[in-house]
């Protein structure tokens, strides 16, 4: 017998939305909360259900388990926000966490507001405060926002695709062991820290982060990444770095001795923060990828070998 999860991945209904639920805080939709809309969807759902969230800020803490094929859409990331104020333990602090496979989000912002308040209150310390946690396979995000300060986007497990998204933070604000491509994204550094902390554990692990045609800017200063694990892999392709990127570019953090195992690379990147402008200051152990190696980091090769992205109901 084929499980519901596998049926969901193979079903022709994946190509279109089967049903739309509307959420409006003012009561003009089917539900006033996103939590209520999600509770109405059956466990082991195998058809795409679209939750359209009308403009507003929804103060909710959400965790999706055992429900696949969920499509959450807002009007725009500037007008539709899911926000919560929580810190310390990363799992408990997460505003929106998805553990199921086949998740899609468009034009909506996920926010953890804790550190915004802490930065203006001397009695509160900056602490891990996750806005979004991605723990399932085949998650895609289009025009979404991820707003926080420390550990904003927990990109932890599975194949993930981020297209034209906005990601904000200062300390390790894109982190985890996901196998992900970020394409055309805007990365806003708002403090002093590190953009990525990728967690590849061994040379045989397939995960890593690839940033293609992204822009890094902001008001702070940060390294492009530091290794969360000994075989960390982060690659920036065809991207633009403003002066917010530190001249050394990357940090070894607590992985001294693993410099040869780590894959940190910049290819065809430009701007005053790029390695082209800091040839003598960049770390000596940054990888120089051969042209023959670049093909494995295309979106198709790295995360989309079975064509799942083209089958999403957004196309």
Q: Report the catalytic residues.
A: 151, 172
CA atoms within 13 A on the CB side of 188: 12
First to last CA, the chain: 31
Spell out the SS3 assignment of the chain: CCCHHHHHHHCHHHHCCCEEEEECCCCCCCECCHHHHHHCCCCCCCCCEEEEECCEEEECCEEECCCCCEEEEECCCCCEEEEECCCCCHHHHCCEEECCCCEEEECCEEEECHHHHHCCCCCCCCCCCCCEEECCCCEEEECCEEECCECCEEECCCEEEEECCEEEEEEEEEEECCEEEEECCEEEEEEEEEEEEECCCCCCCCCEEEEECCEEEECCEEEEECCCCCCCEEEEECCEECCCECCCCECCCCCCCCCCCCEEEEECCECCCCHHHCCCCCCCCCCCCCHHHHHHHCHHHHHCCCCCHHHCCCC
| CB-CB contact of 102 with 69 (8 Å) | yes
């Amino acid at each position: 017998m084929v499980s519901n999860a596998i049926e969901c991945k193979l079903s022709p209904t994946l190509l279109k939305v089967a049903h739309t639920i509307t959420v409006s805080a003012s009561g003009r939709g089917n539900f006033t909360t996103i939590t209520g809309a999600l509770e109405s969807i059956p466990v082991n759902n195998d058809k795409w259900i679209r939750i359209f969230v009308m403009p507003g800020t929804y103060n909710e803490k959400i965790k999706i388990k055992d429900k696949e094929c969920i499509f959450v859409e807002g009007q725009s990331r500037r007008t539709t926000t899911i926000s919560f104020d929580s810190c310390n333990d990363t799992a408990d602090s997460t505003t929106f966490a998805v553990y199921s496979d086949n998740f899609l989000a468009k034009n909506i912002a996920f926010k953890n507001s804790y550190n915004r308040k802490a930065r203006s209150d001397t009695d509160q310390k900056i602490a891990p405060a996750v806005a979004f946690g991605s723990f399932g396979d085949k998650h895609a995000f289009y025009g979404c926002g991820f707003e926080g300060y420390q550990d904003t986007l927990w990109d932890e497990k599975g194949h993930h695709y981020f297209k034209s998204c906005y990601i904000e933070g200062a300390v390790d604000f894109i982190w985890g062991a996901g196998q992900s491509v970020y394409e055309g994204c805007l990365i806003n550094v708002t403090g002093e820290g590190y953009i990525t902390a990728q967690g590849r554990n061994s040379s045989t692990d397939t995960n890593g982060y690839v940033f293609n045609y992204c822009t890094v800017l902001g008001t702070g200063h940060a390294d492009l990444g530091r290794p969360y694990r000994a075989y960390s892999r982060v690659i920036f392709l065809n991207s633009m770095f403003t002066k917010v990127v530190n001249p050394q570019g990357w940090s070894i953090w607590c992985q001294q001795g693993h410099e040869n195992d780590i894959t940190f690379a910049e290819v065809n990147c430009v701007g005053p923060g790029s390695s082209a402008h800091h040839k003598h200051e960049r770390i000596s152990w940054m990888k120089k990828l051969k042209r023959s190696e670049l093909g494995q980091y295309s979106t198709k090769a790295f995360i989309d070998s079975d064509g799942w992205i083209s089958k999403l109901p957004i196309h």
